[in-house]
Structure 1
Amino acid sequence: MRLYAEQLQDNLKAGLKPCYLVFGDEPLQKQECLDAIRQAAAAQGYTERHSYTLDDNPEWQQIEASCHAMSLFTSRQIIELELGEKLPRDWAEKCQSLANALHPDLLLILFGPRLSAAQTKAKWFDNLSRQGVYIPINFPDSRFFPRWMQQRAQLNGLKLQPDAVQFMCHAFEGNLLGAAQELEKLALLNLSQPLGLLQLQENVTRQNHFTPFQFIDTLLDGKVNRAQRMLLQLRGEGVEAGMLAWALARELEQLLMLRLACDHGQALGPLLEKARVWSSRQALYQQALQRLTTERLHQLIAVTVQLDRAIRRFETEEAWLLLQSLSLGFRHDAALKLVSA
């Protein structure tokens, strides 16, 4: 079963599942989901918790011993496994053993960073998600962020005017933890409500944060002006131009492959599945391919070649200018400006 973070509380009221898989890169929602599961488990008699980090040398013997010990005693227990970016070599085999060991007095919680498309299609994931609940933790889409902000404000007893909601969304985009903490602080100030733009400007420190992945998705969505703001902030936060160049080049090669296949009459849906594009990103790819012609994609890839050359020569300013030009190029009517070699 797959649930979104905001659906978890209602699902827990119906009873605990044997296991929960909580994966994603947004720290606030991830921590709140884990806390909600633990609280629901404590209310149902799960009094002991064993936590393990699965690094290069997992404590498999200790983990397996905990599983077997649970069947000998009446107390209910939780086993939590924190996974990293790279799974242990024997993960598939050990995970199957854990799945077989599940019983009513054992609750298994797995959590870690965002899973790749290949990992969500693996046998171990399919087996556990069928027995339990998978909760992907993502940053709210920009379209739904104002709703999240309103709901979070209400949880803190705050009412925000429409312009105040927009200000908070711009001030904390990509930083839900910062937004939650700031709303808690505002609640303590006892300001007159509903809060307006002027009050927030006087009392709020902007803490927006973006990831390279959000930057890429914004370009696919065609929101190039927003992407320009994100690019400036990423540079200010010390993100390397080379990292962004690599990600853009990979994305453009994927887009060109899909564009050429579509030009030859192939259906986009099966192509996206074959390319293992996340279902949550398929609409972004469809929008991008509607805007970007084969000619435009060739032009953008030509800019990435020049960008790679600038990075190899340590020409930092030129590299960032080319990244700006690339960003603008994701809008179909934008003229591409290349930097002279």
Structure 2
Amino acid sequence: MPVSPEQLGRALGRGLAPLYLISGDEPLLVDESLEAIRTRARTDGYLERSVFSVESGFDWNILRTECQSLSLFADRRLIELRLPTGKPGDAGAELITEFAERPSPDLLLVVISTKLDKGSRDSRWVQAIEAAGTHVQVRPLDTQRLPAWIAQRLASHGLQPEPGVVDLIAWHLEGNLLAVAQEVDKLGMLVGRGTVTRAEVEASLADSARFNVYQLVDAALSGDAVVVRRMLASLRADGTEPILMHWALARELRSLAPLAQERARGKPEAAVLARVWQIRRPLVARALKRLTLTALYRLMRQAATLDRVIKGQAAGDRWLELERLLLAVCGLPHCAVEFSEDAG
């Protein structure tokens, strides 16, 4: 039976399956799913645990012997089988299929794999696990699912976010679930239980240079050149590397371009902004009114030039070029770089 990590807890509440497959490329969710199975297994008396990792030349007979042997202390056993490639080969597929078709009541097998390709998902061994046990399919959390995941995690710490808190965390830590988890853990220690405010989240995030970098990008989007210059000087004095600021700014420009394209085609502003985090919609709306699609393409090419300067692949002062790009985003025309039609 396929389930998501969010559904696994309820499934475990009904009891353990004979075997499990956890597959995916999001390490935090994979590890937490595995830990949830381990916890339930210990409750049910699986007190011995063996771990096997399938590398080149792995001897599947060793695992077969382990599965068939009796526990030294007559305890139920948990066997974790790690498949870094997601492909057990013919011998491994045969053994896993055999176990799925004839599971042992005293042995729990958990297979941990990277993301499975279509061929592997349709393979006999995966189908056998799904028929007899549970397949925990770990998929990256997209922008639609991430807020609910953050809200659930806050709730698990006894925290009730005030409006805007979830969006604030999601925006600044998007794409890094481990950072989100650590931030929620930190808020749990700082706040305890109860309502968590935007001011508390901002104060917590402010300890990170990354948060200040995002503030710099937001200042550029708002068109505040004075604040941009002041923040850039502060970040430079603090030792923040230009590459981090370039990354955050380039990400923002790439996300704005398709929105500007929709706006240029006459799509209503409300529809254009529907894909933007609610907390950021006023800021993005102001930026789109100032920056045309042509201007954004020019800024993206300017950002690409800055990337080469930072990496030493082009001549120039990285701090000066970064300041010019930021001020161009603010709308200062003399800071924008003009490109010829055949420029790279």
Deviates more, 1:45-54 or 1:61-70: 61-70
Which residue identity lines up with residue 5 of structure 1 in the other structure? Answer: P
| Aligned amino acid, residue 175 of structure 1 | N
Could you tell me how far apart the structure 2 residues matched to 1:134 and 1:104 are?
A: 19
Q: CA deviation at 1:87?
A: 2.4
SS in 1 for 2:141: coil
C-alpha separation in 1, matches of 2:80 and 2:96:
13
Distance 1:4 1:338 in 2: 48
Match of 1:308 in 2: none
Contact 1:23/1:113 (CA < 8 Å) preserved in 2? Answer: yes
Match of 1:246 in 2: none
> Could you tell me whether the CA contact under 8 Å between 2:18 and 2:104 is conserved in 1?
yes
Taking the aligned partners of 1:70 and 1:236, their CA distance within structure 2 comes to 55
Question: Could you give the per-residue CA deviations for residues 315-334 of structure 1, whole angstroms, max 9, x where no partner exists?
Answer: 978xxxxxxxxxxxxxxxxx
Q: 2 CA distance for matches of 1:102 and 1:154?
A: 37
Structure 1 residues 206 and 171 mapped into 2: Cα distance closer, same or farther (>3 Å)? Answer: farther
2: distance between equivalents of 1:40 and 1:315?
Answer: 53
Query: Which residue matches 2:199?
Result: 198
CA deviation vs aligned residue, 1:104-150 (integer Å, no higher than 9, x gap): 11111001211112210111111121110001112222112111111
The Cα shift of 1:236 comes to: 4.2
Counterpart of 2:32, as a letter, is E
Give distance in 1, aligned partners of 2:54 and 2:175.
28
- Alignment match, 2:53: 53
Aligned to 2:83: 83
Note if 1:111 corresponds to 2:112.
Answer: yes
Relative to 1, partners in 2 of residues 1:78 and 1:191: Cα closer, same or farther, differing over 3 Å? closer
Separation of aligned partners in 2, 1:193 and 1:17: 36
Identity of counterpart residues, as a percentage? 30
Contact 2:159-2:193 at 8 Å conserved across structures: no
Cα–Cα, structure 1 residues 103 and 340, in superposed 2: closer, same or farther, change >3 Å? same
Q: Letter of the 1:43 partner, please give it.
A: T
1:1-341 maps to which residues of 2 (within 5 A)?
1-70=1-70, 74-85=74-85, 87-90=87-90, 91-100=92-101, 102-190=103-191, 194-204=195-205, 205=208, 236=247, 339-340=342-343
8 Å Cα contact 1:70-1:106 kept in structure 2: no
What amino acid is the match of 2:157?
N
Cα distance in structure 1, aligned partners of 2:56 and 2:122 = 23
State the 1:235 CA deviation.
8.0
- By how many angstroms is 1:75 displaced? 2.5
Give the CA deviation at 1:61.
2.4
Specify the structure having the higher radius of gyration (Cα): 2
How far 1:197 sits from its partner (Å)? 2.5
Taking structure 1 as reference, are residues 22 and 338 closer, same or farther at Cα in structure 2, changes over 3 Å only? farther
Q: Report deviation, 1:2.
A: 0.7
C-alpha displacement at 1:168, in angstroms?
Answer: 0.1
CA distance in 1, matches of 2:6, 2:53: 26
Structure 1 residue matching 2:65: 3-state secondary structure: helix
Contact 1:120 1:126 in 2 (8 A): yes
Q: Which amino acid aligns with 1:144?
A: R
Aligned 8 A contact 1:160 1:195 in 2: yes
Q: Secondary structure, in 3 states, of the residue corresponding to 2:51? A: strand
Match of 2:168, as an amino acid? F
**TM score, norm. by length of structure 2:** 0.58
List 4+ stretches of structure 1 deviating above 6 A: 232-235, 314-317
Specify the SS of the correspondent of 1:189: helix
Shift of 1:178: 1.4
CA displacement at 1:99 relative to structure 2: 3.3
> Offset at 1:86?
5.3
From the superposition, tell whether residues 156 and 339 of structure 1 become closer, same or farther in structure 2 (CA, over 3 Å): farther
Counterpart amino acid of residue 130 in structure 1: A
Change (3 A) 1:191 1:36: closer
List runs of 5+ in structure 2 lacking aligned partners. 212-242, 249-307, 315-339
Q: How well do the aligned residues superpose, as a CA RMSD in angstroms?
A: 3.2
Query: 1:202 and 1:59, CA in 2 relative to 1: closer, same or farther beyond 3 A?
Result: same
In 2, are the aligned partners of 1:70 and 1:77 still within 8 Å (CA)?
A: no
SS where residue 154 of structure 1 aligns?
helix
Could you give the per-residue CA deviations for residues 293-319 of structure 1, whole angstroms, max 9, x where no partner exists? xxxxxxxxxxxxxxxxxx9xx9978xx
Shift of residue 18, structure 1, vs aligned partner: 1.0
What is the number of equivalent residue pairs in this alignment? Answer: 225
Distance 1:14 1:29 in 2: 21
Q: What are the Cα deviations for residues 257-291 of structure 1, in whole angstroms up to 9, with x where unaligned?
A: xxxxxxxxxxxxxxxxxxxxxxxxxxxxxxxxxxx
Structure 2 SS opposite 1:20? strand
SS across alignment from 1:159: strand
Distance 1:101 1:235, change over 3 A: farther
User: Structure 1's 154 and 94: CA in aligned 2 closer, same or farther, altered over 3 A?
Assistant: same
SS at 1:37 equivalent:
helix
C-alpha distance 8-234 of structure 1, shift in aligned 2 (>3 A) = farther
